[in-house]
Amino acid sequence: MGKTILAFISFIFLILVIVIIVAKGGSDNSSTVSTRAKLSESANSEAVFTFTERGPIVADEDHYNIQITVNRHTRVIKILKGYEGNVVATQSFTNNQEAFSDFVSALENAGYEGKKSTKYASEEGVCPAGRRYVFESNQFDEDFRRWTSNCDVKGDFAGSLSVIQGLYKDQIPEYNKFISETRASTGLSL
């Protein structure tokens, strides 16, 4: 009878161990949830989100970057000429808490923080005839930076490029007019 009781207690112990392992098995979801919470919570912080479209790798005089920066106070677009980033055109607009909160939520829903593996550490030298897109933010514990391109070589950005690129451009009233006017005044192939 002693062996029966010992076997029964061992069986109960084994069942408890299995239940605990199964209950903790989904713990990987907690890191995703906490990352998403940080992105959502950044709408009430001094977070800054930046999108940079880097032009083709060409002569310094012909190279450009288009950079859009959004925070809860301002929205800024800059056209940078050359590899040293000389500002040739800029426009600033005020922002408000509600607009910024919607913007951040839309970024989150489009997979902004998603990351995939790539053999390239950065966009430097990649996609020389095309465009490289860089997404940066300071709302995470460490600097956040992802990139992709419009070429066959892709970076670590796993979000929806078309949606997120559109969200940034839509933060700038008359974006296309600004780009056209800058193109005409600078001769850059924006």
pLDDT of 175: 96
Token pair 């008359």: residue: 174
Q: What is the largest CA-CA distance in the chain?
A: 96
Residue 111 in this model has a pLDDT that exceeds 80 = yes
Residues 6+ apart with CB under 8 A from 17: none
Whether 23 is in a domain gets the answer: no
* Per-residue model confidence as pLDDT tens digits over 133-165: 999 998 765 678 999 999 988 999 999 999 999
Question: Is 24 within a domain?
Answer: no
C-alpha 184/C-alpha 178 separation (Å) is 10
Look up residue 105 and give its amino acid.
Answer: S
pTM of the model: 0.78
What CATH number does the domain containing 167 carry? 3.30.1560
Q: What is the pLDDT of residues 63-101, one digit of tens each?
A: 999 999 999 999 999 999 999 999 999 999 999 999 999
- Cross-strand partners of 148: 133
Residue 27 covered by a domain: no
User: What pLDDT score was predicted for residue 172?
Assistant: 98
Residue 11 lies in a domain: no
d(CA 138, CA 42): 9
Tens of pLDDT along 7-53?
666 666 666 656 666 655 544 443 344 444 557 677 778 889 999 99
The parent domain of residue 142 ranges over 40-118+127-185
Task: Confirm whether 49 is domain-assigned.
Answer: yes
Residue 171: pLDDT band (50, 70, 90) is very high
Domain presence at residue 109: yes
Split into its structural domains, the chain has a count of 1
CA distance 49 to 15: 49
Token digits of residue 17: 């161990």
Three-state SS string across 112-136, please?
Answer: CCCECCCCCCCCCCCCCCCCEEEEE
CA separation, residue 81 to residues 57, 61, 108, 132 (Å)? 12, 7, 31, 15
Region 106-110: mean pLDDT is: 94
164 part of a folded domain:
yes
Q: Is 20 part of any domain?
A: no
- ∠ CA(132), CA(190), CA(163), 5° rounding? 50
